Amino acid sequence: MEQLNQIYKTLLETYGPRNWWPAKTPFEMIVGAILTQNTAWTNVEKSIVNFGENLSPEFIASVPNGELALIIRSSGYHNQKAIKLKEVTKWFERYAYDIEKARKVNGALLRSELLSIKGVGRETADSILTYALNKPFFVVDSYTKRLLVRLGFEIPQTYDDLRLCIERNIPRNLAVYNEFHALIVEHSKCFCKKIPLCEECPLESGCQKLISDILSSRSKKTSFIKRS
């Protein structure tokens, strides 16, 4: 547990609070979680701007699919994402488009509901849970996996096994989950890229650096340890 907490502390000291998710309303955050699938955030921002004053569940529920697809075209896979936005909005309608009603529901049940929506996978569901519904589910993405492998952790193969391992080893706190994920994303964009920029990296001292080094030192990796 101490190692992950130290990583969090170091990243927070380096980058400061990230104030995630970048959205004006919880529903805008939900829309952003769908649109950011398989694309860069800059493309999502263009789509958000295209909505103008119409970024609401009522608008998405009523607008024709073709028109919605044109609005979000910059996000890529726009026809598929238009359908996904319709489906997640249909789910939100169960709660009368009231985020506070949704937040009163048990987190595990909400996760099950979200995962039943076509086009909503685990990462997207956990993003919505953490950043829109205020439920503590740690968001695992490719940045998380890459960072932990380079730092020498032996990580589980499945998404949920890794998520649970992380959750067992850091305080179960919504603010920490929110900030830690955002900090990992920021660090991955600044230093821990596909080709890492190791010079001046704040985590350099504990990093395996090269993939060859990682593979050759698997037996020495640090395992996640449950809190006592």
Of 153, 145, 141, 144, nearest to 208 by C-alpha is 153
pLDDT digits (tens, 9 = 90+) for 3-44: 999 999 999 999 999 999 999 999 999 999 999 999 999 999
Per-residue confidence band for 1, with pLDDT thresholds at 50, 70 and 90: low
CATH 1.10.1670.10 domain extents, the chain: 2-17+140-223
- Tell me how far apart the 2 most distant CA atoms of the chain are, in Å: 56
Residues 138, 159: contact at Cβ < 8 Å? no
Q: Options 3.50.50.60, 1.10.1670.10, 2.60.120.10, 3.40.50.720; which CATH number does 2-17+140-223 get?
A: 1.10.1670.10
Q: How far apart are CA 144 and CA 13, in angstroms?
A: 18
Q: How far apart are CA 80 and CA 96, in angstroms?
A: 25
CATH 1.10.340.30 domain extents, the chain: 26-131
**Which numeric CATH code is attached to 26-131?**
1.10.340.30
Interhelix angle 174-190/122-131, nearest 10 degrees: 120
pTM (whole model) above 0.85: yes
pLDDT digits (tens, 9 = 90+) for 46-103: 999 999 999 999 999 999 999 999 999 999 999 999 999 999 999 999 999 999 999 9
